[in-house]
Amino acid sequence: MKICIILGTRPEIIKMSPVIRACEKQGLDYFILHTGQHYSYTMDRVFFEQLELPEAKYNLDVGSGKHGEQTGKILSGVEPVLQKERPDAVLVEGDTNTVLAGALAATKLHIDVGHVEAGLRSYDRRMPEEINRVLTDHCSDYLFAPTETARRILLGEGIPDTKIFVTGNTIVDAVFQNLEIAKDRNNALNDLHLEPKNYFLVTAHRQENVDVKERFKGIISGLELVSDEFGLPVIYPIHPRARKMMNHFGLKANGIEFIEPVDYLSFLQLESKAKLVLTDSGGVQEETCILGVPCVTLRDNTERPETLEVGSNMLVGTEPEKIFEGVKLMLERENNWENPFGDGKAGKRIVEIVGEIRG
């Protein structure tokens, strides 16, 4: 059996790292195809090295672009690789253009598709990610649902139960495996002169937030309120695009410490020791839940409802007062929720399921 793992963004590399490690451990015939959706493979190679992962066999380096253009480039780049390699199964993870294009290319060549993290829904079709994840689910052969909630969603959309496997979320495996690797590195808290549980960490990068002046301004004002009230450092590793939009809109900020983006292992260290994290990232909502760190989500909806149900997370949107109130409420809660995303063996389970079906 031969498996092709297709990925193109850093969150996908993180969430697929346990699957890759499981393939390595079991000595399977597999290869990695990197589309370069966010960064070139040259830039991402450091990322692979940090996470101690083998190199990608194929690099498409499609780069950024409009959704249709980027999806088309990935589709036309993936197809000849699959025709040449003829894998028995293709694995994709998440909701990016890489995921949709990889799944489509494989489906049209009658190659089985496994969708890791299937069944997530925000029910907001304005988000390109929502379109990608719905379409990918409906053309996949194996749907690896992270939770029972995701499984019920898929069944409700008419997907046969025989295609759905509740595996837990690979993010649990990734957090613990990668924190272990991070222990051998320099401590990001020391570099920034921070004390554990004595700072707030921020990530805000989504198009619907940073490309809309009112929403981005609301986030910045909310962070200023948090800084004023608690008198603790508010650390915001700001993405170049978000910084560009901040300058474009002429937004100013007091009490927020903007720093250059940090590498994933450093971010994991910062995240695990933060007092609270404010984010618009889906993955960070999961990671904070697993790490026992309170989270406030700067969005109007989430495809991670489990974090709301267990009480690790709160949706606040982008209005300053709501952000401030959300932070106060979350800090009053006990950090004793149960992690709903599984036992940290999802990667192994996924590989074993594919092996049993295709073996």
Residues that are catalytic:
205
Residue with tokens 């609301």: 218
Residue with tokens 């490309």: 211
Distances (CA, A) of 292 to 173, 175, 303, 307: 15, 12, 19, 11
Q: Given the DSSP bridges, would you call strands 89-93 and 58-59 parallel, antiparallel or unpaired?
A: unpaired
Distances (CA, A) of 3 to 6, 50, 327: 10, 23, 44
User: Is residue 47 a contact partner of residue 10, using CB atoms and an 8 Å limit?
Assistant: yes
Q: Quick check: helix, strand or coil at residue 200?
A: strand
Q: Which DSSP string corresponds to 316-327? A: -TT-HHHHHHHH
| Tokens at 58, concatenated | 């194929």
Beta bridge partners of 143: 115, 164
